[in-house]
Amino acid sequence: MAVLQFREALMQAIDEEMDRDEKVFIMGEEVAEYNGAYKVTEGLLDKYGFRRVIDTPISELGFSGIGVGAAMNGLRPIVEFMTFNFAVLAADQIINHASKVRYMLGGQASVPIVFRGPNASAGQLGATHSVAYDSMYAHFPGLSVIYPSEPDDAKGLLKSAIRSEDPILFMESEQMYGLKGEVSEEEDYTIPIGKAKVKREGSDVTVVASGKMYHIAKQAASELEKDGVEVEIIDPRTIKPFDIETVVKSIKKTNRCVIVDEAHPFGGMAAEVGFLIQREAFDYLDAPVQRVTLPDVNAPFSKPLFDLWLPSAKNVIDAVNTVTYRK
């Protein structure tokens, strides 16, 4: 196993797929000459040239539309957004075109495109840079949403996403680009889309968390272990399609569940997964499902307020204490 930064794992995946398939190219703001805003595309311009590593104007709607058209004509674009907060400007191309082309044309055309970049909050960047969009895009048929939490998942899932025949939103946390972790050195390493992973075994409560919330859940689990509470952590990795079977299997063992989501409470991933759990595993629950989410308010700029706004390990511990009746 190699130890790589999150950004390096992403770059490896893109490099290997561009080398494997000449139809793969990447476009976005500063991906070429600047080596990427977060250095995910470092070195790719020198290797593949301007025809396959393409700097774009600051026009998310424009270059996303070019990407959708290219995909419909047989290419495999990777469209990088500097942040998914700005991808709202491209929502028409993603939601009204990329997601619907195969359906509206009766399968005569597909859109093998990956839209990728940082999602949710990145620190003190204000309310317009601190929104989690994974559940919003997961709402629409025809779109898959991937939200990895570790470098190994990032590489294996991005390679699978690039090979998909359908549009995929690949979301990353800006605060995790420097995160280091072991990455498989298996040749042509891929991970199936739509398969969750039990990242920590436990017997007392199931915690579901993706993206950087997975690391918050890990911190909470370590603290709870000191008090004799064994937390099982499931990382969905893919928000849609969501692997409810793995979650239900865990709940049948623990009989309790907490969902941690870096989004607002109404209509978020935690709300949908909570419904799926009560539909599929109601008889196994010894306590109501608890959610840990952002409050229903926009991100503050103030550092002390921002720290209170974000879900924390303490919030997760409090939720676990609630479902285990330790509170």
Active site residue ranges: 60, 129
Pairing of strands 76-80, 114-118: parallel
Helix/strand/coil (H, E, C) string of the chain? CEEEEHHHHHHHHHHHHHHHCCCEEEEECCCCCCCCCCCCCCCHHHHHCCCCEEECCCCHHHHHHHHHHHHHCCCEEEEECCCCCCHHHHHHHHHHHHCCHHHHCCCCCCCCCEEEEECCCCCCCCHHHCCCCHHHHHCCCCCEEECCCCHHHHHHHHHHHHHCCCCEEEEECHHHCCCEEEECCCCCCCCCCCCCEEEECCCCEEEEECCCHHHHHHHHHHHHHHCCCCEEEEECCEEECCCHHHHHHHHHHHCCEEEECCCCCCCCHHHHHHHHHHHHHHHHCCCCCEEECCCCCCCCCCHHHHHHHCCCHHHHHHHHHHHCCCC
Contact 174, 116 (CB under 8 A): no
Distance CA 219, CA 233 (A): 11
- Length of the chain in residues, anyone? 327
Distance CA 147, CA 219 (A): 19
Distance CA 275, CA 232 (A): 20
Contact 168, 115 (CB under 8 A): yes
* CA-closest candidate to residue 121, choices 229, 202, 28, 212: 212
